[in-house]
Amino acid sequence: MNATVSTPAITAVRGHLVSLRDNPFVVGDTAAMWAEPDGLLLCRDGKIEAVGAWRELRDQVPENVEVVHYDDALIVPGFIDCHVHYVQTGIIGAFGKQLLEWLENDVFPTEQRFADKAHADVVAKLFCDELLRNGTTTALVFAATYPVSVDALFEEAERRNMRLIAGKVLMDRNAPDALLDTAQQGHDDSEALINRWHGRGRLGYAITPRFAITSSPAQLEAAGALWKAHPEVWVHTHLAENRGEIEAVAGLYPDRSSYLDVYDHHGLVGRRAMFAHGVHLHDADFRHCHDTGAAIAHCPTSNLFLGSGLFPLHEACDPHRPVHVGLGTDVGAGTSFSLPTTAGAAYQVAQLRGHALTAPQLLYLATLGAARALDLDDRIGSLEAGREADFTVLDPHATPLLDFRSKQAGSLDEVLAVLMTLGDNRAVRAAWLAGQPTGPL
């Protein structure tokens, strides 16, 4: 007999709901945070239909719908990773180098393997599993030069109904021949991928020049023209990560006033542009990002691992001209897929810059702030009616140490801080996509 497995259109989830309503760097923690200790999320057709106190909403749950109750856990919006390389999953923890040498020795060899669709399929599956295991429900992802490496990832994300943005890397110089495209081929391959994937289900395309060292002026110009022709897609690249890199860019683009100006000159700065790192940006760059709506992915575990520097988060988030900032794991330079772990590293980096971050600020950077940075806050990033029902269930008692420590915590903020200090994938009890629980973590 053939049994058809169908997903229910309506689901209901009860538990301690925690979400941001606004930017705590601007309005302060109290105004920005929202929590409902005994709350209900009523989901219909992949979206949150109603959210609020259990006692007020319980009557809206249809009789035939079983309420999933997560006791003693926090339900937060699904985490959003603003910068990650799925094709570098196999080289996490390659010791001993800084950026440019690491690219040559570790990254370029591993990325060449993604010309093989079968290899890309295997890694794409592992990668999506790892995102969900860590409670990450959306990511902005670098694939490799090869269009098949993008196909593999989008096929995997589509199977799971994940909201995911990715792109084929553009690089036409300063890398092994096997990884290079040309300005024209890169443009045409990207456009074909946009036509095949952008807007299909919950998938989006990002035009993805690796960085200014590996793209000629002609390639950046073609990328800018492509964005002009498809303004609904994203731009995703690296910016001002490492001092050696910045020197090389200045040598390759001597007429440009700054690294950001290289991208700006080619029409690659604006809303829906995501720049990874920005460790060595200055006030004028942050102002330009603020004015144009361009966003920065702060990748602290990567910056520490490669010795790139300490991102000036408080300058970027200055309430007088706040820049959109989200967190990025930047795997494989980053050392963890976990956004709570990445938030913990952001806390430590900020301390070394003389600022202590708060738990609501960090949760913002991993959820609503990232959604705003991606111009997707009307879809994801918060627990609000009308948003897509992507959320993550965190267990503050997941390990003996977490349990012991969380029991000493006197406030929600303290529990969140503990989760960002001790928490990793073990603290993720469940991840839901579009109102459906994902498989066992």
Question: Pattern 321-340, binding to ligand GUN, x per CB under 6 A?
Answer: ---------x--x-------
The structure tokens 């709506």 sit at 293
Q: Which is nearer to ligand GUN, 83 or 272 (CB)?
A: 83
Does position 302 interact with ligand GUN (CB under 6 A)? The reply is: yes
At 221, give phi and psi (nearest 5°): -65, -40
Structure tokens at 246: 């910045």
Residue 334 in contact with residue 302, Cβ under 8 Å?
Answer: yes
Stretch that binds ligand GUN, among 99-107, 190-198, 309-317, 390-398 (CB under 6 A): 99-107
- Partner whose binding site includes residue 206, from ligand GUN, Zn ion, none (CB under 5 to 8 Å by kind): none
Bridge partners, 166 (sequence order): 141, 205
Structure tokens at 338: 């976990």
Residue 270 in contact with residue 301, Cβ under 8 Å?
Answer: no
The CA–CA distances, whole Å, from 295 to 87, 143, 220, 267, 383 equal: 23, 20, 18, 15, 22
Angle made by CA atoms 424, 425, 429, in degrees to the nearest 5: 120
Does position 130 interact with Zn ion (CB under 5 A)? The reply is: no
Q: Which is nearer to Zn ion, 308 or 358 (CB)?
A: 308
Residue 10 in contact with residue 43, Cβ under 8 Å?
Answer: yes
Q: Which of 80, 82, 107, 120 binds ligand GUN (CB under 6 A)?
A: 107
Bridge partners, 142 (sequence order): 85, 167
Q: Which of 14, 41, 79, 85 binds ligand GUN (CB under 6 A)?
A: 85
- Tally the residues of the chain: 441
Q: Which is nearer to Zn ion, 49 or 245 (CB)?
A: 245
**Residues in region 193-212 near ligand GUN by CB under 6 A:** 210-211
**Residues in region 235-264 near ligand GUN by CB under 6 A:** 238, 241
At 240, give phi and psi (nearest 5°): 45, 55
Q: Which of 18, 57, 103, 339 binds ligand GUN (CB under 6 A)?
A: 103
SS3 127: helix
**Minimum distance from residue 241 beta carbon to ligand GUN (Å):** 5
Residue 213 in contact with residue 249, Cβ under 8 Å?
Answer: yes
SS3 content of the chain, % helix, strand, coil (to 5): 40, 25, 35
Does position 111 interact with Zn ion (CB under 5 A)? The reply is: no
**Residues in region 322-381 near Zn ion by CB under 5 A:** 330
Question: Pattern 343-382, binding to ligand GUN, x per CB under 6 A?
Answer: ----------------------------------------
Total site size for ligand GUN, rule CB under 6 A: 11
Residue 296 in contact with residue 237, Cβ under 8 Å?
Answer: no
**Residues in region 259-318 near Zn ion by CB under 5 A:** 276
**Minimum distance from residue 200 beta carbon to ligand GUN (Å):** 26
Q: Which is nearer to ligand GUN, 32 or 240 (CB)?
A: 240
Structure tokens at 362: 């960090």
**Minimum distance from residue 143 beta carbon to Zn ion (Å):** 12
Q: Which is nearer to ligand GUN, 333 or 427 (CB)?
A: 333
Which helix (H) or strand (E) is 371 found in, with range? helix 368-373
Residue ranges binding ligand GUN (CB under 6 A): 85, 99, 103, 107, 210-211, 238, 241, 302, 330, 333
Residue ranges binding Zn ion (CB under 5 A): 276, 330
